[in-house]
Chains A and B, each alone.
Chain A
Amino acid sequence: MPPLLIIDHHNGIPAYRQIMDQLKLQIATGVLPAGTEMPSTRSLSTEISLNPMTISKAYSLLEHDGVLERRRGQTLVVRERSSSEAETNKQAHLRKHLTEAATMAHQLGISHAQALKLFRETLDSSTP
């Protein structure tokens, strides 16, 4: 099954960037485990109605970032990563969202202590 990707064409974020972010997240959360084969540029282009150039740009940047690797010449697969590397990636992902929240906290004039308390409460209430 091809990875589930949904491209929003109105949010101004380039489509290649959206593909990269979604694949990185699916890899970080284990939805796409190491060794998973990526669909070809051509078939993904058909699947999500996107310019094949956009997809190959996303793929080659992910390859460059070490997220994907080429096997047997052609097939792109999710690269095996050490647990510390995977952990760093997960944290980088969360940090991005926290940075936005931090800016919002500044704009709202919420103190550090208040913001931390709020995050702790949110964590507790959303834990299953």
Chain B
Amino acid sequence: MTSTTTATAPLLFENLTKNYAGQVALNAINLKIPAGHVVGLLGRNGAGKTTLLQVAAGLVLPTAGTCRTLGQRSDLLDSPELTRLGFVMQEAKFIEWMTVAQHLEFTASYYPNWDRDLQQRLTGILEVPVKRKIAELSTGDRQKVGILLGVCHRPALLLLDEPMSALDPIVRARMLDVILERLRDDGCTVVISSHLLSDVEKIVDWIVALEAGRVVENCALDELQESFAEWTVTAPDGSPLPAFTAPFILTQQRSERLVRLTVRTSEPDAVENFAASHGVTAQSRRLSLDEIFPLLLAAKKEVR
């Protein structure tokens, strides 16, 4: 890896491994997050999403390998990088006895670039109860405070770990707009982990999927969506259909005269060619991220 590519990638993992008491949480991760993208970090519980973000923020030290965050080794992050890094943790630690307003004031004092106008505006948009004590807040309101504390210093890199799980759909939509605004105004790079795939799908343009501590997918969302499809196959005269085998077929469900295939192929005329070569009719439907996600993990398991 040359120094120039290191400098342009806001996040770079090289052979990064993290073990917890002999358990492998991250297994030799090599990953480069491109600048200016909104990356959706997907994976099942325990896949390593939180550990990956914690390593990136310097909260967890690697067992082996390195992570570079904004050009600096993540175990050596200091104020030049930390003032440009925003991290919203899943269960953020706050100073419980402070009011929200006091906490904002307190955190702002650490950041020379804290944007008070932005704070004021986001407080209104996300309906943050500034006069309440942190200890009295609901889980949803705590998440809102976490967001405010993570973005008001206008970071160049924003790491979000399940930031919206307790928010209602209306606030979630506003929160996505807040993230998009950071992207437009500051060219901020965003990594967001979420179980709510349909939410993430609205703003992410890049997908990184983890499974058992390994990266199993790392590609543009468009490419992912355009390579997966479900084909409904019938024989024109109603005759029974053969078993289909092709490397791009991931699953098949069949009844006597109908076969439903899920496929992954980037070939533009794949469905037409398939229909012509088998003498069948086939209709193709695109899959949503919610439908693609399990296929992604299942397919990779077979390969290994």
Contacts and interface: CB of A to CB of B under 8 A. Distances in A.
B133 interface: no
A81 to B, nearest CB: 25
B281 interface: yes
A11 B228 CA distance: 12
B285 interface: yes
A29 interface: no
Given A12-B291, A46-B184, A51 B286 contact: no
B285 A12 contact: yes
Chain B contact residues: over half helix, strand or loop, or mixed? mixed
Contacts of A109: 236-238
Interface of A: 7, 9-14, 16-17, 42, 45-46, 49-54, 57, 100, 103-104, 106-107, 109
Chain A contact residues: over half helix, strand or loop, or mixed? helix
Given A9-B202, A106-B236, A53 B36 contact: yes
Given A45-B180, A50-B203, 10 more contacts: A9-B202, A10-B198, A11-B286, A12-B225, A49-B176, A50-B180, A52-B183, A53-B37, A53-B205, A109-B236
Interface size class of B (residues with CB under 8 A): 35 or more
Contacts, number: 74
Contact of A45 (B184, B221, B225): B184
Residue of A46, A49, A107, A109 contacting most chain B CB atoms (<10 Å)? A107
25 contacts: A9-B201, A9-B288, A10-B198, A10-B290, A11-B288, A12-B228, A14-B226, A16-B222, A17-B222, A42-B184, A45-B180, A45-B184, A46-B177, A49-B173, A49-B177, A49-B180, A49-B202, A49-B203, A50-B203, A51-B180, A51-B183, A51-B203, A103-B282, A107-B236, A107-B281
A45 B187 CA distance: 13
Interface of B: 36-38, 173, 176-177, 180-181, 183-184, 198, 201-205, 221-222, 225-226, 228, 232, 234, 236-238, 281-283, 285-292
